[in-house]
Structure 1
Amino acid sequence: MDISWLKIEDPILLALLATLFTWGVTMAGAALVFFFKDIHRRVMNLMLGFTAGVMIAASFWSLLSPAIELVAQEDPGFAWFPATVGFLSGGAFLLLIDKILPHLHQSLPLSKAEGIRTSWQRSVLLILAITLHNIPEGLAVGVAFGAYGVSQDPNILTGAILLAIGIGLQNFPEGTAVSVPLRREGFSRRKAFFYGQLSGIVEPIAGVLGAIMVVSMSHLLPYALAFAAGAMIFVVIEELIPESQQGNETDLSTIGAMVGFATMMMLDVALG
């Protein structure tokens, strides 16, 4: 993939621009609420499955694999350690947030809300559920661009750009998955759109923080890449896959996941 046209060198600025793009795609998905009041469960399952597939593929091709390769270049016998520790740490971090931050997954009654008990409305808890898993997505993009800042390797820059594109692709259905349920909750279209896109605002914040962390602590780069992968996989297993399996059309969510994985793999392997 020829990226010689890209003149920006600052990895933190690149991370900001990339995550502003992913946030923008979330806005575009949330804007579907102006055209639809409801989306059929089968379509939602397909979209959520696609999102899960993209995140799984991105976790390996754009994060775990580079983390392993970075260490293997110097010490092949030790390459497994940073990837394993970082991956499990990322999952543990999301588990901790999951236990603390009040949120509610779609299709569940208010009594099934997770995190610290509050009296917050169902709509707020639904927004926080999507916001929760936008954190590792922004972090992953930021870490990837931070890795480029440390290595100055054009291949890593290409991978970071493709990761941002992949995250952007799956943010479209995510935006819809927030705004349309809020419309069903009684919000006006304008308010449902506003809160739907607002769930993605954490991505630029997490992206910039991730890039700063990697640039300032370059020796932790393999751990940081694996950390972002573990956080994303936690979201996929804990939220996206169960949510995509609601109803009787579970084959569609599986097909969506396969297509999402293949799409991200194709982007990374063919263009990277």
Structure 2
Amino acid sequence: MNFEGFISQYNPVMQALFATLFTWFVTALGAAMVFFFKEIKKKVLDIMLGFAAGVMIAASFWSLLAPAIEMSEKLGKNPWLTAAAGFLTGGIFLFAVDKIMPHLHLGLDISKAEGIHTSLKRSILLVLAITLHNIPEGLAVGVAFGAAAINQTNATIGGAIALAIGIGLQNFPEGAAVSIPLRRENLSRFKAFMYGQASGIVEPIAGVLGAWLVTIFIQILPFALSFAAGAMIYVVIEELIPESQLNSETDWSTMGAMIGFAVMMVLDVALG
């Protein structure tokens, strides 16, 4: 039995849990790079962040917005209005979380920390910044498995698995991008690893919640898919792309984004 057949045996909430545990595990693998490297070159980090941005942009359309528009039509809803409302609401939600949750983006001084003022250490603020990325990622995977279970759109188990694989791939460099800089903050390798992998633990929580909500309230599925897409695009535009282009050599991050987009597109078309 192939993996798709195996996971189809379970209800969508369990499917979302398995998938987001996988994405969290890949985050942990990336964080484990701190045991092998003490620092990460800025050029490499830019490529990693660009790759993550490309994956999330592609996933937002093929895995989330396109199925949302199709399902809206089948449910008799206005497809463009539902998709636009969900997309913008997702962005507004992340905007609000961004203003509330204390966090610090990579490469910035602690004086540039965002969110509610706090006395948290710089290392914790860096972890919270990546944790903020992972909330919409986990939600997107959970909603995708919920959509596949309802089976009223072109959303399929294969497509949901492709999304989980894509999110997992970009979680690897994100895990490394947290743990290795933390090592430079004078944390031990083990503590830097633990902080790095902890940034991904919100994905199973958000994934299970997303899958449960859309299977209980089927009518909200098109909105939920669009919401997840909007939240991911907000993270890309507000955080990943600016962070990847802090260096003057922006060509590297741009190529990383192109490769990430292509990889996610191939995964979705091939498996979806």
- Fold equivalence (TM over 0.5): yes
Encode CA deviations 1:181-224: one digit per residue, 9 max, x unaligned.
Answer: 10010001000001000000000000001111111111000000
CA–CA separation in structure 2 for the residues paired with 1:163 and 1:148 = 12
Check conservation: 2:104, 2:112, Cα contact below 8 A: yes
Task: Please tell me whether residue 31 in structure 1 is matched to residue 32 in structure 2.
Answer: yes
2:56 aligned residue: 55
Question: What is the SS of the residue equivalent to 1:38?
Answer: coil
Distance 1:54 1:153, change over 3 A: same
2:19 aligned residue: 18
Encode CA deviations 1:5-42: one digit per residue, 9 max, x unaligned.
Answer: 44423000000000000000000000000000001000
2:199 aligned residue: 199
- What does 1:60-139 align with in structure 2 at a 5 Å threshold? 60-73=61-74, 75=76, 78-139=78-139
CA–CA separation in structure 2 for the residues paired with 1:233 and 1:197 = 23
Encode CA deviations 1:29-59: one digit per residue, 9 max, x unaligned.
Answer: 0000000000100000001100000000000
- What does 1:207-246 align with in structure 2 at a 5 Å threshold? 207-246=207-246
The count of residues paired between Structure 1 and Structure 2 equals: 271
Q: Could you list the runs of 5+ residues in structure 2 that have no partner in the other structure?
A: none
Encode CA deviations 1:244-264: one digit per residue, 9 max, x unaligned.
Answer: 002122100000000000010
CA–CA separation in structure 1 for the residues paired with 2:233 and 2:44 = 23
After TM superposition, where is structure 1 displaced by more than 4 Å over at least 4 residues in a row? 152-155
Amino acid paired to 1:8: Q
Deviation of the 1:130 alpha carbon:
0.4
Deviation of the 1:121 alpha carbon:
0.9
Question: What is the SS of the residue equivalent to 1:3?
Answer: helix
Task: Please tell me whether residue 249 in structure 1 is matched to residue 249 in structure 2.
Answer: yes
Check conservation: 2:178, 2:196, Cα contact below 8 A: yes
Deviation of the 1:152 alpha carbon:
7.0
2:190 aligned residue: 190
CA–CA separation in structure 2 for the residues paired with 1:149 and 1:59 = 19
CA–CA separation in structure 2 for the residues paired with 1:212 and 1:265 = 27
2:45 aligned residue: 44
Task: Please tell me whether residue 169 in structure 1 is matched to residue 196 in structure 2.
Answer: no
Question: What is the SS of the residue equivalent to 1:128?
Answer: helix
CA–CA separation in structure 2 for the residues paired with 1:72 and 1:146 = 18
Deviation of the 1:166 alpha carbon:
0.4
* Aligned sequence identity (%): 66
Distance 1:207 1:6, change over 3 A: closer
Deviation of the 1:150 alpha carbon:
2.3
Deviation of the 1:73 alpha carbon:
3.4
Distance 1:6 1:154, change over 3 A: farther
Distance 1:254 1:201, change over 3 A: same
